Amino acid sequence: MEYLQIGITTAIAFIITVIGTPLTIPVLKRIKAGQSIREEGPKSHMVKSGTPTMGGIAIIGAVLITCFTAGKITTDLVIIIVAFVAFGALGFIDDFVKVSLKRNLGLTAKQKLLLQIIIAACLALYQSRVSVYGTSVFIPFVNMYLDFGIWYIPFISFVVVSMVNSVNLTDGLDGLASGVTLIVALFLALVGTTYGFTTTAIFCAAMAGACFGFLMFNKHPAKVFMGDTGSLALGGGIAAAAIMMNIELIIPIAGGVYVAEALSVVLQVASFKLRGKRIFKMAPLHHHFELSGWKETKVVGVFWMVTFVLCAISLLVV
């Protein structure tokens, strides 16, 4: 019955997003919330300039409606939703600055990082106070918990901020971030249902359904982009859900695509500064494959399949 509830929740969020996204797109066009394409990006992406962005509003709305109508509201669910919305709000501000002030990079890196750390630290503080595991973190493969003590809050904050920005970097091709997050969210919903984290599972199922619904309009050629509004919210939601279930270190495995995208940027920047040479043709990683001759749809499809395999492996070790 619990697995059936997850399926129903996913379906409801899907339907809400399928209805809500096409209602959102005309509004975004009306306020001229068009995507600006960075000149240093792949030239093939210039045709996407002007495509409505900030579509993550539809995802956030669908998740909220689904969660608040799905049944019992617990404190854990409220905390996850607060983190989800807070990161989404930060992304919305960033998108708004890009659209209204015509600043392609939005908020400054320092501004975004500071706000992200504050949200992440609050989430970590809550979990350290209420979790039965306290400041202990589950270690995959060895099936044990390690007490981080005073380092728990800094560590969890790092995990959250890293995840949020990794999802943000993954959002660079039509359907990439929404598809990958759909799979990861379903994985978390299954874990939550299996181990009794019912409300967390409901949130993850709602997020999966919303991503699936949004994918109907975000697949190639995309009619709308989620923007930082969506990618930061999804990253925050994934991280918050994992933390509530004390499986923080499973996310780098299940979300290996996120990690690879972020790591490619770190390695690219480090290599260029230290050696004056680039490792990849372009970072994040999806652009490297594009410039290597892969079609955008092939890159997205392969990344989806990799995520599915990684989530299957994660189910075996969680």
Is the predicted pLDDT of residue 26 greater than 60, yes or no? Answer: yes
Question: Are the C-beta atoms of residues 231 and 165 closer than 8 Å to each other?
Answer: no
What is the model's pLDDT at position 45? 61
pLDDT of the residue at 105:
57
Beta-carbon count within 10 A of 185 CB? 29
> Phi and psi (nearest 5°) for 147?
-80, 115
Q: Compute the mean pLDDT over every residue in the chain, rounded to the nearest whole number.
A: 91
Check residue 63 and give its pLDDT.
Answer: 98
Q: What is the mean pLDDT of residues 213-238?
A: 96
Which pair of structure tokens corresponds to residue 122? Answer: 């609050």
The pLDDT score that the predictor gives to residue 42 is 64
Give residue-wise pLDDT tens across range 87-138.
999 999 988 887 766 665 557 888 899 999 999 999 999 999 998 888 999 9
Look at residue 35 and tell me whether its pLDDT is greater than 80: no
pTM beyond cutoff 0.85: yes
C-alpha–C-alpha distance, residues 290 and 280, integer Å: 11
**Structural element, H or E, at residue 136:** strand 136-139
Judged by average pLDDT, the poorest of 14-18, 102-106, 128-132, 256-260 is 102-106
- Compute the distance between CA of residue 29 and CA of residue 101 in angstroms, rounded to an integer: 16
C-alpha 309/C-alpha 297 separation (Å) is: 19
- Cα–Cα distance between 41 and 147 in angstroms, integer? 43
76 among the known binding-site residues?
A: no
Task: Answer yes or no: is 143 a known binding residue.
Answer: no
Q: How high is the pLDDT of residue 109?
A: 84
**What sign results for the dihedral spanned by CA atoms 115, 117, 122, 123?**
positive
As a whole number of angstroms, the distance between CA 287 and CA 205 comes to: 30
Secondary structure element (H or E) that encloses residue 108, with its range: none
* Dist CA 178 CA 155 (whole Å): 27
Is the pLDDT confidence value at 38 over 80? no
